[in-house]
Amino acid sequence: MDPGRIRLEAEVRSAATTAQHCEPTGAALFHAGQLAVEDALFLGPPGTGKSHWAQAIGQAVIQQGYRVLYRQTHALLDDLAEATLDGTRKEHMEFLETVPLLIIDDLGLRKLPLTVAEELLAIIMRRYERANTMLTSNRPVEDWGKLLGS
């Protein structure tokens, strides 16, 4: 996928998902008007609002003028596979590394093959302490080894 086509994406499932619903959390991402580098992990059973909170925080970040990319895990990895096939992998990885907030939703919804899991981990590691990454999952961290193909 061309990084230019995904400059600013925040797929919000509900019109009611706005920054107003997460002002305390959204405000905590900013220090002296700048986006702080913080990572977040939302865990819990289905239907508890993890995706809603992540999207609302994403909207708050957008309203502050920053770029946000929201993707469900499988869509993010499909985008990367497409970029590999069309020869834009390097540019796509650079975009994924630098977008100020990357929200990866529904990690663990389905098991990932080992090579794909390694790609996801590479994205997360490249972003570590450089840009904000937010993950949601309905699976406990203890289960992630099985889900990530190991």
pLDDT at 5 over 80: no
What is the token pair recorded at 19?
């920054």
Label residue 62 by pLDDT band (50, 70, 90).
Answer: very high
Q: CATH number of 12-24+35-147: 2.60.130.10, 3.40.50.300, 3.40.640.10, 3.30.470.10? A: 3.40.50.300
Separation between Cα atoms, residue 1 and residue 84, nearest integer Å: 9
3-class DSSP state for residue 86? Answer: coil
Is residue 147 within 8 A of residue 111, CB to CB? The reply is: yes
Q: How confident is the model at residue 146 (pLDDT cuts 50, 70, 90)?
A: confident
pLDDT in tens, 72-122: 999 999 999 999 999 999 999 999 999 999 999 999 887 777 888 889 999
Is the pLDDT confidence value at 58 over 60? yes
What are the structure tokens assigned to 37, written together? 């580098």
Instruction: Name the 3-class secondary structure at 102.
Output: strand
Read off the pLDDT of residues 8-47 as tens digits, 9 standing for 90 and up: 333 334 434 444 444 434 444 554 456 777 899 999 999 9
Return the pLDDT at 30. Answer: 52
Say if residue 52's pLDDT is above 80.
Answer: yes
Please report, for the chain, the start and end positions of each structural domain, with discontinuous segments joined by +.
12-24+35-147
Please tell me the distance from the alpha carbon of residue 32 to that of residue 79, in angstroms, as a whole number.
34
